[in-house]
Amino acid sequence: MSNEFRGTGNLGDNPILKTVMVKGEERKVAEIRLFLDEYKPDGQGGFEQSGGFWMNASVWDRRGEDVAAHLRKGARVHVAGRLVEQEWTDKESGEVRKSMQLNADEVYLSLARLEQVKFKPKAAETE
């Protein structure tokens, strides 16, 4: 079974570059937060945003350094990598929590635009 994920979205924050110890060796890792959007045909020859979700991703070593140096909040990127489950204990409730994160092997700046079609982003929801 393959565990491969590919998606396109926008960075929600600037990348954060950290140095961490892995098996006694210092390694660089860039942490990024992405909003991966979904679009559907609008019936009039265009597309409209139909949803999406937030995902955290880690980009290791030289690729992580490049991501941190060149990408900023709002950048549209293509990402590919493996999904991994993270588990931790909530400090307040003591409950075990889980989330999915992407270990990205590829991060590319997207220069493509949907200029040829009518594009109508979904209005932001208010709380």
Instruction: Dump pLDDT digits (tens) for 44-79.
Output: 888 787 888 999 999 999 999 999 999 999 999 999
Say what the pLDDT of residue 50 is.
81
Residue 126 lies in a domain: no
**Domain membership flag for residue 109:** yes
Is residue 127 assigned to a domain? no
Structure tokens of 105? 């092997």
Strands 119-120 and 47-60: parallel
Asked whether residue 34 is domain-assigned, the answer is: yes
Which residue is it, tokens 């293509």? 78
CATH of the domain at 105: 2.40.50.140
What is the number of structural domains in the chain?
1
Cα–Cα distance for residue pair 75/32, rounded to 1 Å: 11
More confident residue, 122 or 38: 38
- The string of pLDDT tens digits covering residues 95-119 is 999 989 999 999 998 876 544 444 4
CB 100 within 8 A of CB 81: no
Containing structural domain, residue 64: 5-120
Residue 91 DSSP class? T
